[in-house]
Amino acid sequence: MQASAPTDSGTWSHWHIHGEPIRLGISSCLLGEEVRYDGGHARDRFAADVLSEWMEFVSVCPEVEMGMDIPRPTIRLADEGDGVQLIAPSTGEDFTEQMQTYSARRVSELQELDLDGYILKRRSPSCGMERIKIYRKGAALSTNNPGLFAAELMQRWPSLPIEEEGRLNDPGLRVNFIERVFCRNRWRVLAKRGLTRRLLVDFHTAHKLLIRAHNEAAYQKLGQLVGSAGSMDDEQLYAAYEAEFQRALSFKASRKLHVNVLMHAMGYLKDKLGQVEKKEILSSIEDFRLGLLPLIVPLTLLNYNIKLYEIEYLMGQLYFAPHPKELMLRNHA
C-alpha cells in the first residue's frame, strides 16, 4: 500500500494488501455444505461463486458445531411463558442452554479472527438475523426475532457488517454491505499495521466522497474529528474515528446522496468540459436520479473525464472504485 500517493490512491486495489484477506463469517449451508436438518444445503451462488473469488470464508454451522446430528429433527423458537427457548417440537427436546453456551464461546473465537463481515442464513432459528417466529401452543406469538446464534453475534459485535443472503438479493443492500466490508478491511489492516496521524488523514481524505454518499452529518463529524485531532491522544482519536466511520457506513447510501456527490465531483470539471460533455454527464446524473440509469453510467462518464483532466483530488477518491468492478455491484444500484 502507498497511502500517501494521492494520484492513484482512489482504487480499492491500491489500498488492499494481498496478505491481509477480506474475511467473512458465513453460515456453512450457504457454501453448499450439507449440514441442514434434512442433510441438504442452501448454497448461495453470490457468496459461493462470486464473493469467494475475492474473500476468504470462515464457515460456521451453529447447530452441528454444538453437537446436533445430520439429519436431525427441526427446531424452532418457542415461548410457553418461561422465556424464549429453542426446542425440537417433535421430541420436546430443549436446546436453549446448549445453543447459548455454544454461541457465547463461538462468537468470542470469531472475534479473534478479525472478520470483515458476516453472511447469515435467513429463516433459521439459529442463524436468521430477523423475522424468525416465536411460537406458543403451535401459533406464532411474534414474528420479528433473530435466531439465537445470530442474536449473540449481533449483540456482541454491533460494528460488524452483517447481512442475510436473502437481503443481499436487494441491489442497494448488497452494494452497501460489500462497501462496508471493504472499508472495514482497509481500516482494520491499517490499524493492525500501525496507524499514524498522517495515515489517518490519508485514509479519511480517500474516503471523503464515499462517506458523504452514506451520511452527510457523519461526514462532517469525521472531518471535525480529524481536524481537531490535536486535543486527543492517538488511541482516543483512532477509536473515535473508527466508531464514527463504521457508523457512517451503516447508513445505506441513498440515490439523493449519490446525486449530491456526483454533482460535487462535477464541480471540479465544470471549467474543463465543453457544453456537449457537460450536458451528457448532467443528463446521466439526472437519469440516475430518476432511476432510469444505474450508478455505473454517470460514474463511468465522470471517471473518464477525471482521468483525462487529471483532477488529482478526485483521482484519489475511493468513491469511484471502492471494490472490484468485477462484482458489478453498481451496474444494478
Question: Is 202 a residue that touches ligand SF4 (CB under 6 A)?
Answer: no
Task: Enter the C-alpha cell of residue 274.
Answer: 465543453
Task: Enter the C-alpha cell of residue 91.
Answer: 421430541
Question: Is 132 a residue that touches ligand SF4 (CB under 6 A)?
Answer: no
Report the nearest approach of ligand SF4 to the CB of residue 26 (Å): 8
- Using CB under 6 A, pick the residue from 27, 85, 103, 284 that binds ligand SF4: 27
- Using CB under 6 A, pick the residue from 124, 246, 284, 317 that binds ligand SF4: 124
Q: For the stretch 50-87, what's the b/e string if a residue is b when 16 or more beta carbons lie within 10 angstroms of its beta carbon?
A: ebeebbebeebbbbbbbebeeebeebbbbeeeeebbbb
Q: Is 117 helix (H, G, I), strand (E, B) or coil?
A: strand
Stretch that binds ligand SF4, among 28-36, 71-79, 233-241, 309-317 (CB under 6 A): 28-36
Stretch that binds ligand SF4, among 56-64, 181-189, 217-225, 255-263 (CB under 6 A): 56-64
Grid cell 460456521 — which residue? 60
- Pattern 30-49, ligand SF4, x by CB under 6 A: -----xx-------------
Question: Is 77 a residue that touches ligand SF4 (CB under 6 A)?
Answer: no
- Using CB under 6 A, pick the residue from 121, 186, 207, 212 that binds ligand SF4: 121
Q: Which residues does 267 contact at the CB level (< 8 Å), separation at least 6?
A: none
Q: How far, in Å, are 66, 102, 188, 237 from residue 108 at the CA level?
A: 15, 10, 18, 26
Report the nearest approach of ligand SF4 to the CB of residue 102 (Å): 11
Report the nearest approach of ligand SF4 to the CB of residue 180 (Å): 22
Question: Is 127 a residue that touches ligand SF4 (CB under 6 A)?
Answer: yes
Helix (H) or strand (E) holding 76: strand 76-78
Report the nearest approach of ligand SF4 to the CB of residue 235 (Å): 37
Question: Is 269 a residue that touches ligand SF4 (CB under 6 A)?
Answer: no
Please tell me the count of residues contacting ligand SF4 according to CB under 6 A. 13
Report the nearest approach of ligand SF4 to the CB of residue 227 (Å): 45
Question: Is 229 a residue that touches ligand SF4 (CB under 6 A)?
Answer: no
Which is nearest to 64 in space by CA: 25, 106, 36, 24? 36
Stretch that binds ligand SF4, among 21-29, 162-170, 258-266, 312-320 (CB under 6 A): 21-29
Residue 329, Cβ density class (10 Å: 0-12 exposed, 13-18 middle, ≥19 buried)? buried
- Using CB under 6 A, pick the residue from 9, 28, 145, 176 that binds ligand SF4: 28
Q: Which residues does 163 contact at the CB level (< 8 Å), separation at least 6?
A: 117, 118, 119, 120, 129, 173, 177
Q: How many residues does the chain have?
A: 333
Cα-based angle 286, 288, 290 (whole degrees, multiple of 5): 70
Question: Is 103 a residue that touches ligand SF4 (CB under 6 A)?
Answer: no
Report the nearest approach of ligand SF4 to the CB of residue 29 (Å): 3
Residues forming the site for ligand SF4 (CB under 6 A): 27-29, 35-36, 61-64, 121, 124, 126-127
